[in-house]
């Protein structure tokens, strides 16, 4: 199975670059399933029903979130009606929405997607390790589901790496979000799970993690409340992780970063390019 995970979408620039390229990526990479982290899609803070619909129409199968999931308050009353929009699974019991779901990919194959949030330097949610343990226990890879993708939304690379190794061999892809910077450690772990500490963002990289530079710099220099942060609106890069899974085991057989845009160095899954067409320019 060919799966693409797109990192945090930030503002209109991020939405536009995903909506522009995703239909072509589905075709060129013969994608069976696409996940997009959309927690910063609505002017940098949260997501709306309309944005979800736009991303679905462009080719996203599931949207994950993180600590900004509730920033657009309307989503609180709407998230229960959208099974494809996930919030972190380790929110306390009774929180609206869901953090895990089994979704149908092409040819009737089943993909478990789990959205979990770290606790180091983040909100003190429930322990993410037991939450993940329960999700993968109920849906074992290779029998109950054909692939498992875990979005680990967190600040600390150490905590993300710990989750990667803790669940190695029990998931197809474990990928980090939240820091908005793509890491260079895409790899297949010893147990067969594809891993990357952070997918990066889909947004304008001439910025401070997707936000306009001047107000962000002022906050660090003055340590005082100031102008509200707003997304940068220049040319955006799309940052994602591409993984191919083994049809029998569900484990990864190939993983690579994917970057499209004008600011970061482009990256294309080389093997996939050989099989599915030339790199997107």
pLDDT tens-digit series, residues 161-204: 999 999 999 999 999 999 999 999 999 999 999 999 999 999 99
pLDDT tens-digit map of 108-150: 999 999 999 999 999 999 999 999 999 999 999 999 999 999 9
pLDDT at position 145 is 98
The tally of domains found in the chain comes to: 1
Phi (first) and psi of residue 158, to 5 degrees: -65, -40
**Could you give the CA distance from residue 17 to residue 236 in angstroms, rounded to a whole number?**
6
Q: Does residue 196 lie in a domain region? A: yes
68 is catalytic: yes
Could you tell me which residues come within 8 angstroms of residue 210 by beta carbon, excluding any fewer than 6 positions away? 8, 10, 11, 14, 40, 44, 180, 201, 203, 204, 231, 232
Q: Does residue 76 lie in a domain region? A: yes
Q: Does residue 209 lie in a domain region? A: yes
Q: Which residue in 65, 120, 57 sits closest to 95, CA to CA?
A: 65
Asked whether the beta carbons of 201 and 9 are under 8 A apart, the reply is yes
The answer, yes or no, to whether residue 226 has pLDDT greater than 90, is no
The answer, yes or no, to whether residue 265 has pLDDT greater than 90, is yes
Q: Does residue 67 lie in a domain region? A: yes
pLDDT at position 156 is 97
The answer, yes or no, to whether residue 61 has pLDDT greater than 60, is yes
Q: What is the CATH number of the domain that holds 215?
A: 3.60.21.10
Mean pLDDT of 58-82: 96
Please give the span between the terminal C-alpha atoms of the chain, in angstroms, as a whole number. Answer: 24
Q: Does residue 180 lie in a domain region? A: yes
Catalytic residue among 21, 43, 68, 165: 68
Q: Does residue 281 lie in a domain region? A: no
**Structure tokens, 279:** 């790199």
Mean pLDDT of 196-224: 93
- Structural domain including 184 reads 2-276
**Could you give the CA distance from residue 215 to residue 217 in angstroms, rounded to a whole number?**
6
* Total-model pTM: 0.94
10 Å Cβ neighbour count for 214? Answer: 11
Phi (first) and psi of residue 96, to 5 degrees: -60, 155
Could you tell me which residues come within 8 angstroms of residue 191 by beta carbon, excluding any fewer than 6 positions away? 168, 169, 170, 251
């Amino acid at each position: 199975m060919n799966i693409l995970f797109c990192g945090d979408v930030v503002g209109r620039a991020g939405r536009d670059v995903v909506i522009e390229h995703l239909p072509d990526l589905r075709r060129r990479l013969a994608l069976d399933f696409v996940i997009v982290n959309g927690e910063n899609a609505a002017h940098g803070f949260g997501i709306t029903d309309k944005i979800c619909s736009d991303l679905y129409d462009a080719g996203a199968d599931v949207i994950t979130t993180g600590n900004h999931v509730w920033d657009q308050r309307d989503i609180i009353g709407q998230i229960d009606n959208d099974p494809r929009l996930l919030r972190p699974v380790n929110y306390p019991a009774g929180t609206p929405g869901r953090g895990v779901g089994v979704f149908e990919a092409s040819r009737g194959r089943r993909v478990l997607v789990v959205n979990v949030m770290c606790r180091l330097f983040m909100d003190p949610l429930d322990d993410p390790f037991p939450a993940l343990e329960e999700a993968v226990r109920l849906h074992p890879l290779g029998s109950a589901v054909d692939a498992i993708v875990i979005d680990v939304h967190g600040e600390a690379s150490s905590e993300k790496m710990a989750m990667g190794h803790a669940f190695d061999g029990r998931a197809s892809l474990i990928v980090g979000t939240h820091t908005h910077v793509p890491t260079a450690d895409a790899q297949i772990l010893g147990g067969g799970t594809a891993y990357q500490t952070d997918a990066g963002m889909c947004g304008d990289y001439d910025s401070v993690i997707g936000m306009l530079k001047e107000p962000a710099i002022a906050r660090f220099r003055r340590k005082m409340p100031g102008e509200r942060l707003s997304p940068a609106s220049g040319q955006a890069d799309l940052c994602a992780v591409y993984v191919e899974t083994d049809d029998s085991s569900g484990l990864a057989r190939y993983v690579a970063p994917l970057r499209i845009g004008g600011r970061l160095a482009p990256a294309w899954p080389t093997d996939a390019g050989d099989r599915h067409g030339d790199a997107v320019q």
